Amino acid sequence: MKKFFSMMAVAAMALAASCSSNDDPVPAPVPTPTLTPNPDVTALATPAPVKGEVKDTEFTVSWPAVANAASYTYTVNGANPTSVAGTSATVTGLTAGTEYQFAVKAVSGDATKYSDSAYSATLTIKTTGGTTGGDTAASLKGSAYFPIVLDVVSIENILDKVVADFRPNEETRFLYVWTDTYTAGTAAGLNFFGNTEGYTSLVMGSQGWAGAGFCVKDGAARDKLAQIMDAPAEWYLHIGIMSAATDTYAHTIRLTDGSANVDLVLKAGGDYNYTRNGEWQEVEVPMNYFTEKGITYRTGNDDGDFNVIAIVDADNQPVAAPGTEVNYDAIFFYKK
């Protein structure tokens, strides 16, 4: 087969030769030109954008002036390049609670001496607002916090005010689920504070009851809860909750101090009224509601199991049907 192919190739070459005049010149191959940078042209320095004022539907960015730049071009999310003469830009018409990627470059006015700069590293800016639950300006501007469920973006607002972090870390802090009761739901869409980091979603099983607890095994961290007892009326339990259940199921939050338990029943007409509408709802309860019913935080805790807060079915309350989903987020104790 290989030999046949070679003979056919030779025949084809002979035919091609017979179709040309011996007088026709054979064109020489055209070499690919080599592009050599002009040593007389200097690239402009790359601007360094800085985030300015941020609102629900717009934000402002500025940058230091670049020597020999005639103007600047910026992009948002890599699209729609926009030229500006000055060293700032206000981007409008945006969506509240949404992240945007901003980049800018310096533009030369004399191409014989200077070339445009590269685009800057992208600056991520998130517009304010966009949350469907609660007043974030208030609940994230307290003076002290014990976070239990809180996303990584929101906790940046309170890092210097965290007394003890109770968020699950699979080492000394856990979310336990009673066997064969709740299963994991799907945390789709924005969380309570309008971020995309997810939340805790639980789906009712077929046992006829359910329970889950946020367990803290660090006794020294739990000891710090005792400071709530100094002024319980100034401390609050904050909860973001979302459910679309149409039955009369009561969402029950249980606090414990290691010995006493106190339940908070969330339902229409319950201890704290709660309307299920498939949207995030905010619940804030002063901690003296619990201390007056018997919760007494104290020091001297060992490193044994201790559910700082639990989600349970309360006695004498309707039980949800299997498959009922309830979502929790933004759970923390905080002092206003």
What are the residues facing 88 on neighbouring strands? 62
If we measure between CA atoms, which residue out of 236, 255, 238, 240 comes closest to residue 335? 236
Q: Environment class of residue 129 by beta-carbon count within 10 Å: exposed (0-12), middle (13-18) or buried (19+)? A: middle
Spell out a b/e string for 133-143, using b for 16 or more CB atoms within 10 Å of the CB, else e.
Answer: bbebeebbebe
Q: Is the Cα torsion angle 82, 86, 89, 90 positive or negative in sign?
A: negative
Of 27, 196, 65, give the one whose Cα is nearest residue 126.
196
Specify the range with the lowest mean pLDDT, choosing from 5-19, 61-75, 106-120, 233-247: 5-19
| pTM given for the model | 0.61
Residue type, 328: Y
42-126: which CATH topology?
Immunoglobulin-like (2.60.40)
pLDDT tens for residues 53-103? 888 789 999 999 999 999 999 999 998 899 999 999 999 988 777 889 999
Please identify which residue in the block is written with the tokens 């949207």: 279
Task: Label residue 237 by pLDDT band (50, 70, 90).
Answer: very high
Number of residues written out for the chain: 336
pLDDT tens-digit readout, 162-194: 999 999 999 999 999 988 888 888 888 888 888
Nearest CA among 54, 195, 48 for reference residue 122: 48
Phi, psi of 301 (to 5 degrees): -70, 140
Domain 136-335 listed as CATH 2.60.40.10: no
Instruction: Let me know the angle formed at the C-alpha of 67 by 63 and 71, rounded to the nearest 5 degrees.
Output: 65
Burial group, residue 307, by CB count within 10 angstroms (0-12, 13-18, 19+): buried
For the chain, what are the domain ranges?
Answer: 42-126, 136-335
- HSE-CB of 216 using CA atoms within 13 angstroms: 24
